[in-house]
A and B are shown apart, each in its own frame.
Chain A
Amino acid sequence: MSAPYRRTVVDAAGWDAAADAMEAGDTTLLSLWAEIGCVHLAVLDAEGIEILSLPCPDGYFPSIGRRHPPAIRLERAVRDLFGLEPEGLPDPRPWLDHGRWGDEAVPAAAYPFLPVEGEALHQIPVGPVHAGIIEPGHFRFTCDGETVVRLEARLGYVHKGIDRLLAGAPLARATKIAARVSGDSTVAYALGFAQAVEQAWGLAPPLRAVWLRAVMAELERLAHHLGDWGAICNDAAFSLMLAHCGVLREQVLRTAATCFGHRLMMDRVVPGGVAADLDAAGMAALQGLIAMLRARVPPLVKLYDDTASLQDRTVGTGRVSPALVAQFGAGGFVGRAAGRAFDARRATSYAPYDGLRFEVPVLQAGDVNARVWVRIREIEQSLSLLEQLLPGLPAGPVRIPPEDLPHGPAEGLALVEAFRGDLFVWVRLEAGQVQRCHFRDASWFQWPLLEAAIEGNIVADFPLCNKSFNCSYAGHDL
């Protein structure tokens, strides 16, 4: 079962009190989203998750971002998508709305980047189309010689209108869309969506399905941590690691295809269970994969650790302070590399993680090197989790038949750990359809920290820093 939560309808005073608590660091912002005439806030405190809802019939609500900066981009998005005005919002520029949703004949207005002053400064605009095979976004560097004095990101290029597509979508279609919010986290998104729906309807999926979901989630984590590890080293001009990690990653994907019929395991986690069972051949493939990784990963760890020229690039580069990470409630390797010991698998201990042994690696340095090490440690943890999951895999059915699912009006949420950090999902259902569904990718609170991480570094280290964050554009732009 997913995380239980409290939901309270508040007035403006209650809303402000929540901003106070976040500003003081007593609670952590999980998300902020809206629907017509109402804005919602999810916070995490010592007792768990609370959702505060503020009706705003006049179209205004007091800005949380005015007090607590991590909310600023979420509020800009709320204004762009739902027309609600956050009063006192410190940054009133549009965010996801690039001025291109209306009349084609009217050219979009230029985006007002933050002004810079200073004689020696120059700017480097990059994107939205980048040199590699990566997602689109715009980065505006302001530099003093080689040194970056400010990075400003402009995102929203891959905004697909997911909130709107989900409103009124029948459950089956909504499940497919959820699995395609951020393809690299397709298992995590499908899992979050399924858990939220199951919580709303009070469903308990079959035990075997719950365990198979964890197998898939750990395979996804392994694939991307391996890929990131290699890619980060490659951006530090150490391509040998990319070659090795790329091979291991490919073998994870091939095993996923053997086990579940799809390399990324897309559409395999569904409300009520999973859409693919693990047979004997799949089980053998998984065991082979684990044995292979157990043998092949340690020499690579040693290689990373022993290569001084590589460490020279990663140690001390792209540092984020623990204070900033705590303020933004940044999850995943970004948070855990800078002292924030948060992992949704532990924090809400959703099944089957409540019965499994695993560590949440936490480092303090907050640099590229620390983000690499968190990934390395998590690769080891994922292997250990798979080793616990496979022998204990319960027998039985893997799915509640779709026709047996309830239809009534209900609400639910989930907080699950994707490979890049905690993913928050909230859903309201009615008549077998999604009425409103909100996803908050971990990237929302990581992107702003990338801007802080690069400050004072040289331009040439940006790819390295960026890769060590590996934020999702798709998951953020929605």
Chain B
Amino acid sequence: MRRTLLQGLLHRPLTEAAPRAEETAAVELAHALNTAAQRKLGRSLSIREIDAGSCNGCELEIHALNNAFYDLERFGLRFVASPRHADVLLVTGPVTQNMREALERTVRATPDPKWVVAVGACARDGGVFARSPACLGGVASVMPVDLVIHGCPPTPIDLLRGLLTLFAPGAAGRAQSS
């Protein structure tokens, strides 16, 4: 135990020890994202994830943003537990009939300004579940969407790139007020 802890203290961080293309890209993207968010919000970005019927594949990749390779928190980007603390809502899944109300209530619980981001092919337009009567077919069918991040599922890098465009100067990303 002590050895492992010591190693953890003495070793250089993974992201710097092995600066492969992917890691460098992640670092740059996350940096840029935080700077943009600071500019727009005056503080760091808080993100809340909502699964509105996903296959759970998108969740796996959103989760990966927290591992030591990406380590979003380094940049002040945080996943928060309550929608009341969130600026950005990452919504996954084709919006099932059974999740619709919970999704709407969660979004309503989020204070303005807020951005709704549809993550993945399902959230975009229902994906392979689009024809199902049990699904509404994408987040936009229930509420205005500020940004779509493509992929099935989007990789962690796709997610970072996507979030960045939300805050890029002159981007379509405008905050919603309800």
Contact = CB atoms under 8 A, between A and B. Distances in A.
Contact of A472 (B56, B68, B132, B153): B56
Contacts of B57: 180, 183-184, 186, 264, 266
A158 B93 CA distance: 9
Given A160-B134, A240-B8, A180 B67 contact: no
Interface of B: 1, 3-5, 8, 14, 22, 49-64, 66-69, 79, 81-83, 93-94, 96-102, 106, 127-129, 131-135, 152-153, 155
Interface core residue of A98, A157, A173 (most chain B CB under 10 Å): A157
B81 A98 contact: no
Contacts of B69: 247, 250
Contacts of B127: 180
A214 B67 CA distance: 27
Size bracket of the A interface = 35 or more
A93 interface: no
Interface string A133-156: 111100000000000000000001
A135 B102 CA distance: 12
Nearest to B94: A160
A114 B125 CA distance: 37
A402 B67 CA distance: 39
A474 interface: yes
Interface string A435-466: 00000000000000000000000000000000
B106 A129 contact: yes
Contacts of A472: 56
A223 to B, nearest CB: 9
Contacts of B50: 129
A173 B127 CA distance: 11
Contacts of A131: 81-82
Contacts of B14: 247
Given A164-B132, A164-B133, A247-B14, A157 B98 contact: yes
A306 B53 CA distance: 40
A134 B133 contact: no
5 contacts: A135-B59, A157-B102, A247-B69, A257-B155, A266-B57
B133 A129 contact: no
A158 B132 contact: no
Given A181-B55, A247-B68, A161 B82 contact: no
Contact of A173 (B4, B97, B100, B128): B128
B90 to A, nearest CB: 9
A98 B81 CA distance: 26
Contacts of B135: 160-161
Contact of B55 (A156, A182, A306): A182
Given A136-B102, A306-B1, A160 B49 contact: no
A177 B69 CA distance: 31
A250 B14 CA distance: 12
Contacts of A132: 79, 81
A182 B99 contact: no
Given A177-B129, A257-B155, 19 more contacts: A100-B97, A100-B98, A128-B99, A129-B102, A129-B106, A133-B79, A136-B51, A159-B96, A159-B134, A165-B128, A165-B132, A183-B59, A184-B60, A186-B57, A244-B4, A263-B61, A299-B3, A303-B1, A473-B56
A113 interface: no
Contacts of B63: 133
B93 to A, nearest CB: 7
A181 B56 CA distance: 9
B64 A164 contact: no
B132 A183 contact: no
B51 A160 contact: no
Interface string A197-228: 00000000000000000000000000000000
